[in-house]
Amino acid sequence: MGTVAKSVPQTIRLILGDQLNINHSWFANVDSTVLYVMAEIRSETDYVRHHVQKVAAIFTAMRHFAHELRSRGHRLHYQRITDAGATRTFADLLQGLCTRHNVGSIEVQEPDEYRLDTQLRSIEAQVGIPVRMVSTEHFYTDRLALSSMFPGRTTWVMEQFYRRMRKEHRVLMDGDTPQGGTWNYDSENRKKWSGSPPLPPVRSFGNDCTDVLADITASGIETIGSIQESDLLWPCTRAQALEALDDFVSNRLPWFGPYQDAMTAQGWALFHSRLSFALNVKLISPREVIDAACSSSAPLPSVEGFVRQILGWREFVRAVYWATMPSYASLNALGHQGPLPEWFWTGETKMRCVRHAVTQSLEHAYAHHIQRLMITGNIALLLGCHPDAVDAWYLGIYIDAFEWVEMPNTRGMSQAADGGIVGTKPYVSSAAYIDRMSDYCTGCAYSKKDRTGEKACPFNALYWHFHHRHRNHLEHNHRLSMVYRTWDGMDATVRSALLERGDWLVNNARAL
């Protein structure tokens, strides 16, 4: 760390592990009165049990970023997790630095998570030095986007938000109309993948994280999942993130649209971008990702399908998070209380779809959206698992899991625990949907066709059991009227056999 005259008041600027945006205006000029601070810190490694690749990728990306800052001439204090006297919280860290330096002010970029926002806001009182929050300059919208876009509303529709975003930011627009004449290509984008086109090889960045892993082990951080020491495949620098974007646009984007809902046991990433980690730690910006997709020669349905995820869903769930926290974190609209079965941590279940989705999550810290929603999320919801347990699993296991994006997706979209704020109906299905969109059912120990009996696919009876037990809550939802008509039209003996099997499955989930 360089030095400045003791009498000159300094500004401390704290950079969090998911704020690795080298294009932030903070870094435009070198200022010798500014001391940047980065820290590998226990309050961040321990709030949930994370996947080992997630901790390793964040530390690796932070260390690269620190190197970059120093090489550009910025002064930096960097705390490694194994440093003697390493503090466990940001407050203690800043307090210590303020006693050692003549600090006049502290600046932070807005954290994305409520937990950190609360922590950072309390630092001013603890340290006795003013703390100023500035934008991360990453997102298209600010935290309060929903109240400024839809004043007075307490429920919001993603599609309306998305169209406003397209118009406001001039993305895929011809004047006031959407390019191609329609806002949505979902009907063209629901294909099953049956082996063709071939899956492009997964681009790995082979980051050597031997040192980082040694530090994680030495400091006793408890993690889940596995990692190959010298092959952390996730992009951990801006250059790697740009390469990953380029690889996606050239090799996957043309097929992204048609196969975005497909699932297969023959691979683990299909035509998805795997850019979520780089985006969420801000190595790249949503603008540059969207610009690259829009200026590519990929077919419009693929480009629109991709843009919708980032300009639509990503910005929308963030805005929902900030409009509803902290109460959102304890919503449990369906009153689910069940534990998460042990096989969520091992993958040892006979259900081939769940086994594949969980096993690849443990191996790669990644599953794509439909696996998260319609396999692991689906089974957790059908079994009635407590949303706190489901949230903790998703928050821990995925490389891209940060609460602002994980929670509205998990508690909201996937577990319907928010009473319909994010999703207009619960995302549950029987085996028929899984079979339509994947090759999972072929070779499964369970029969996709049977609804009752030991060999019957558990999703089948659970699907009806779920709708039956939540009838009071769900039957007035017009999107479910067909479901209840079909249920009511079934023979009473069939219904009771389904409920009996459903009861057994809910009570014996660990045996599935």
Closest CA to 308 of 181, 189, 483: 189
DSSP H helices in 408-507? 431-437, 458-469, 471-474, 481-489, 492-507
Q: What totals of helices (H) and strands (E) does the chain contain, helices first?
A: 24, 9
Mark residue 175 as left, alpha or beta (left: phi above 0; alpha: psi -120 to 50; beta: remaining): left
Closest CA to 341 of 302, 393, 284, 408: 393
Nearest distance from C-beta of residue 333 to ligand FAD, angstroms: 16
Tokens of 256: 């992204």
Which range touches ligand FAD (CB under 6 A), out of 173-181, 208-216, 292-300, 313-321?
Answer: 313-321
Q: Is 21 among the residues that bind ligand FAD (CB under 6 A)?
A: no
Q: Of the two residues 66 and 249, which places its CB atom closer to ligand FAD in the complex?
A: 249
Span 249-278, contacts to ligand FAD by CB under 6 A: 272-276
Span 393-452, contacts to ligand FAD by CB under 6 A: 394, 398, 400-401, 405-406, 409-410, 413-414
Q: Using omega within 30 degrees of 0 as the cis cutoff, is the peptide bond preceding 387 cis?
A: no
Which range touches ligand FAD (CB under 6 A), out of 61-69, 147-155, 166-174, 308-316?
Answer: 308-316
Q: Of the two residues 74 and 372, which places its CB atom closer to ligand FAD in the complex?
A: 372
Nearest distance from C-beta of residue 275 to ligand FAD, angstroms: 4
Q: How far apart are CA 499 and CA 512, in angstroms?
A: 17
Count of C-beta atoms within a 10 Å radius of residue 195: 9
User: Do residues 259 and 271 make contact, with C-beta atoms less than 8 angstroms apart?
Assistant: yes
Q: Of the two residues 276 and 438, which places its CB atom closer to ligand FAD in the complex?
A: 276
> Which residue among 45, 207, 223, 280 contacts ligand FAD (CB under 6 A)?
280
Nearest distance from C-beta of residue 354 to ligand FAD, angstroms: 14
Burial profile 121-146: b = 16 or more Cβ within 10 angstroms, e = fewer: eebeeebebebeeeebebbbbebebb
Which range touches ligand FAD (CB under 6 A), out of 77-85, 120-128, 306-314, 454-462?
Answer: 306-314
Tokens of 66: 């620190």
Which range touches ligand FAD (CB under 6 A), out of 184-192, 193-201, 312-320, 327-335?
Answer: 312-320
Span 335-394, contacts to ligand FAD by CB under 6 A: 368-369, 372-373, 377, 394
Q: Of the two residues 123 and 172, which places its CB atom closer to ligand FAD in the complex?
A: 172
Count of residues binding ligand FAD (CB under 6 A)? 27
Please, is 507 exposed, middle or buried when counting C-beta atoms within 10 Å of its C-beta (0-12, 13-18, 19+)?
exposed
Nearest distance from C-beta of residue 77 to ligand FAD, angstroms: 29
Q: How far apart are CA 379 and CA 351, in angstroms?
A: 10
> Which residue among 314, 336, 386, 501 contacts ligand FAD (CB under 6 A)?
314
Nearest distance from C-beta of residue 318 to ligand FAD, angstroms: 8
Contact residues for ligand FAD, defined by CB under 6 A:
272-276, 279-280, 309-310, 313-314, 317, 368-369, 372-373, 377, 394, 398, 400-401, 405-406, 409-410, 413-414
